[in-house]
Amino acid sequence: MIKTIHLTFILLSIFSFVGRVILSETHPSLLKQPFMKVAPHIIDTLLLLSGIILVFQGSWLSGESTWLLAKVLALLGYIGLGVVTMRTRGTTRWLAFAGTMACFVYIGIVAVTKNPWFFL
Q: What pLDDT, on the 0 to 100 scale, is given for residue 118?
A: 87
Residues 63-78: tens digit of each pLDDT: 778 888 899 999 999 9
Region 92-103: mean pLDDT is: 97
CA distance 78 to 111: 15
Cβ atoms of residues 85 and 100 within 8 Å: yes
**Per-residue confidence (pLDDT) for residue 75, from 0 to 100:** 92
The helix-helix angle for 66-87 and 2-26 (nearest 10°) equals: 20
pLDDT band at 34; cut points 50, 70, 90: very high
Q: How far apart are CA 55 and CA 49, in angstroms?
A: 10
> Domain boundaries in the chain?
1-62, 64-120
pTM of the predicted model as reported, rounded to 2 decimal places = 0.87
The mean pLDDT of the chain is 92
Q: How far is CA 109 from the centre of its chain?
A: 13
